[in-house]
Structure 1
């Protein structure tokens, strides 16, 4: 039998890997949202940091760091004047070999040749031009000079067309003639495209003839134009990055080389056409190279082209411009710069962004990213789960409340099932009812008989009736909550309590009330994105008024009132509906607030206050509330606020069952 070998899957993401759980991504976003960030900012922060629970997956910050490291490596690769340095060296070598050949010859012709060599200008391009018609005595010198001209021809053309250096490796006149034909047909194709006459078939025929000169294998004219324009812009940046003397010398060498190759006019025309199509590229922006190794013109152009691509990629990865989206990031550029694995990481990030919207956690409304009610419910469940995980097992009892809901302790009795019942089914009595009714089926091959159940057979186990509660959570929204760093904890606590009541105690009526200069009822969907109010005033008086109306609407419910605040009352509601602020608190503010406390006491509502600051005036006020009402005062840290509030609520519900 043939053997099998197994190894790591390398062709992209692991097809057998479990799909990423977007709920974990939402939980990570939730921490930032509860701290005051917008959903869009929270999503961007998640994408920058990378995905939790996905080892090896890089976020945008890590990809950005690697891009910047790659740019640093490229800048340190070498100098840009390598072609000039090589050309000068070959020229000096050819002249030296010629002088060595002429020196032993005593003839006047030798002296005249030496004088001609002595008169050569220091400018490399001009010296090469003058020597173009020189009749070399030394065969080695002639060969070196031809090597110089071949070097310039290949470097100049490769700077414009990547891969041309290999195509012209041998000094073949037919190869140069083919390049001239390619340039002529390329310019003609661009002109036809400008007139709207170009077709894909024209491009396909062009690539069939000259595709080997374009190793990137563009699929259409637009890709070819983009490829050539980026290369031409990099060559222009190379000239701009040299000193004025080096620039003039290299430019003269390029022009002379193209003239001698008979393609100068065609190359100028191509450059003009490419610039007209892509003026957005950085054509004349200099780039600083810090390396010591001299780079040839083609290699230097390649380095500058890659640096430009990396600069664009860095801008896209930063995602710090209006309307930025991950779809703006060019996957081809990521692959060229960082490899296939980086493309896979980017695709995971894109998938998370898409999945959060497609699975109904995020929505875009009028260009703004918002949380959906489904996302808010998820954040509430997460907040409640974190609260429960922080409770010490056994210290406050079993807080998972497995008997939660309308059902309570079993009484031992049962009754016929009615539509809407939430009590557990009494299985034994249900089956007995079916047997008595004659619901036994025929015997099967094993001797057993099936029981056919009818609706009238079902009975439910009776349970103790639970007392429903009217729950009010009053949350301080004042600016001081943000300053003290307790704002996120307060929101998380509100979400956790609301989730607990609606899921575990559906018979209860819960209301979340926020208060600053005014008080208002907060809907569940706005809790997560709620921000603190940058206004003056802690209007507990107004909040108690609203809470009192909630309790009065449920007179038969047990009242549960919880207050979370970090400051004493400094505002109250006046008769005209406006608020009055004064600090230190006015006598009227304190009297009106305490009057509402007394009304709560007459409603048999115990006020438990969770004090988030150690202010002496606040402590004196809450002590007076506790004295009048009989409620309790807690001083939890922000990290344990949710634990205290939920535990107190559960204690109250357990006591009132």
Structure 2
């Protein structure tokens, strides 16, 4: 009988239908860019296939489209015969793809709640230990440390375990949070040939999926703002498009505050993704607009709302996709009044900053 192990070269089994998986990732990216237009996304995919040979004789574009239908990613569009629309499964896959792309290094959580600076009866064990107090849960008792204390206090010959010997592991309180995500859909988000709305959508979808998976007890509401502001469903994020709008930041903040007033959670906050200054107000049925410089009438109204949010203990984190000095000056003033946070970010770094600030701002601080 021989001892030991025999090693041989490891040859991994070929992945089943690898062509579909690689094309699916690219298709999800294109669907986000085309705001859910399947025909346009497939046209782009065909063009990329011709240029870069994405498919081969064994698996072609026709096979990929058939698999999309069989696997439930595409469905017949009843409103337009002969065309397709993406399904709820696709919408979820797009959010998951965005989460993987932006928060790919994130480790999965277990509870889906947020730590506070307070200790006591909670969900997660900390590294702190203390003496037993009446009302502590049995599972908090550290038996190893308690037995050690008993041996020290009473000796081995007359061993006994008393309440004074017990030592418990401290736990951290968990809390819920309510977040409103504001997305600027004014015309400047696609101005000068630069696509800023696609990265903004990806961040919103990744955040939505993150909250759903890691923080299921939280609430996340998404609103968009242009000339006006309105709430959208998370499932509608892939279809979001820029309009011929000015930037009515006031309308967005007012709607966000209305939503958060109805939430009973102890922690509330606003994330605002924008690339420009506020340029619009609604006065009765009319709009006051000024796209040139920083109009103090518009700016002052916006600053006043930042102060109101501070009184309501609603911090605002602003992600400004711009580097103009006068815009930064406005955001600095806005952030100082609110006592919130602001980031001046390139599109590439936006997702990381959103996640980093999301984790930090979940703690209720005073």
1:594 equivalent in alignment to 2:303: yes
**Alignment CA distance shift 1:29-1:624 (3 Å):** same
Give the 5 Å matches for 1:634-645: 634-645=343-354
Q: 1:351 to 1:580 in 2, by over 3 A?
A: same
Q: CA deviation at 1:48?
A: 3.8
TM-superposed CA distance for 1:470, in Å, is 0.8
Q: C-alpha distance in 1, partners of 2:338/2:306? A: 7
Q: Answer yes or no: is 1:380 the counterpart of 2:95.
A: yes
Indicate the residue corresponding to 1:344 in structure 2: 58
Q: Give the Cα–Cα distance (whole angstroms) in 2 for the partners of residues 510 and 614 of structure 1.
A: 28
Q: Is the 8 A contact 2:281 2:287 kept in 1?
A: yes
Q: Is the 8 A contact 2:103 2:206 kept in 1?
A: no
Aligned equivalent of 1:83:
none
Larger-gyration structure (1/2): 1
Report the Cα offset of residue 401 of structure 1: 4.9
Match in the other structure for 1:486: 196
Q: Are 2:71 and 1:364 equivalent residues in the alignment?
A: no
User: Hey, what's the Cα distance between the residues in 2 that align with 1:557 and 1:358?
Assistant: 45
Is the 2:34–2:41 Cα contact (8 Å) retained in structure 1? no
Provide, for residues 496-554 of structure 1, a one-character-per-residue CA deviation record: whole Å limited to 9, x for no partner.
1111111110111101111111112121121112111123x101100001110111011
In 1, the alpha carbon distance for the partners of 2:56 and 2:89 equals 32
* Pairwise CA distance, 1:354: 1.6
2:275 maps to what in 1? Answer: 566
Tell me the CA shift for residue 463 of structure 1.
6.4
Partner of 2:205: 495
| 2:319 counterpart SS class | strand
| CA distance in structure 2 between the partners assigned to 1:603 and 1:361 by the alignment | 43
Aligned to 1:25: 23
Structure 2 match to 1:174: none
State how far apart, in whole Å, the 1-side matches of 2:56 and 2:98 are: 33
Residue 470 of structure 1 aligns to a residue whose secondary structure is strand
- TM-score, structure 1 length as denominator? 0.42
In 1: Cα distance, 2:73 partner to 2:363 partner: 34
1:45-194 pair list within 5 angstroms: 45-49=44-48, 59-60=49-50
Structure 2 match to 1:507: 217
Q: Distance in 2 between matches of 1:343 and 1:623?
A: 57
Contact persistence 1:560–1:649 (CA under 8 A): no
Q: Using the TM superposition, give the Cα deviation of residue 593 of structure 1 relative to its aligned residue in structure 2, in angstroms.
A: 1.6
For the residues of structure 1 that align with 2:335 and 2:56, how far apart are their CA atoms? 60
Query: Could you say if the C-alpha distance between residues 586 and 356 of structure 1 is closer, same or farther in structure 2, counting changes exceeding 3 Å?
Result: same
**Alignment partner of 1:477 is 2:185:** yes
Q: Is the 8 A contact 1:469 1:558 kept in 2?
A: yes
| Alpha carbons 1:36, 1:530 under 8 Å: kept | no
Post-superposition Cα deviations, 1:207-240, rounded to whole Å, max 9, x if no partner, equal xxxxxxxxxxxxxxxxxxxxxxxxxxxxxxxxxx
Report the Cα offset of residue 648 of structure 1: 0.6
Equivalent-residue separation in structure 2 for 1:342 and 1:635 (angstroms): 44
Deviation at 1:415, TM superposition (A): 8.1
Normalising by the residue count of structure 2, what TM-score does the alignment of the two structures yield?
A: 0.73
1:534 paired residue number = 244
**Distance between the aligned counterparts of 1:613 and 1:641, measured in 2?**
11
Which position in structure 1 is the counterpart of 2:40? 41
Instruction: Return closer, same or farther for 1:26/1:549 CA change in 2, 3 Å cut-off.
Output: farther
Contact 2:178 2:263 in 1 (8 A): yes
Corresponding residue SS for 1:344:
coil
The CA deviation at 1:613 is 0.9
**Pairs aligned (count):** 303
Aligned residue number for residue 582 of structure 1: 290
User: 1:632 pairs with 323, 341, 361, which one?
Assistant: 341
- Matched position secondary structure for 2:85: strand
Equivalent residue, structure 2, for 1:466: 174
| Higher RCO (C-alpha 8 Å, min separation 6) | 2
Distance in 2, matches of 1:369 and 1:343, equals 25
| DSSP-derived class of the 2:284 partner | coil
Secondary structure at the residue paired with 2:220? strand
Which of 312, 315, 335 pairs up with 1:606? Answer: 315
The alpha-carbon distance between structure 1 residues 24 and 603, as it changes in their structure 2 partners (threshold 3 A), is farther
Contact 1:572 1:593 in 2 (8 A): no
CA deviations 1:221-260 (Å, max 9, x no partner) are xxxxxxxxxxxxxxxxxxxxxxxxxxxxxxxxxxxxxxxx
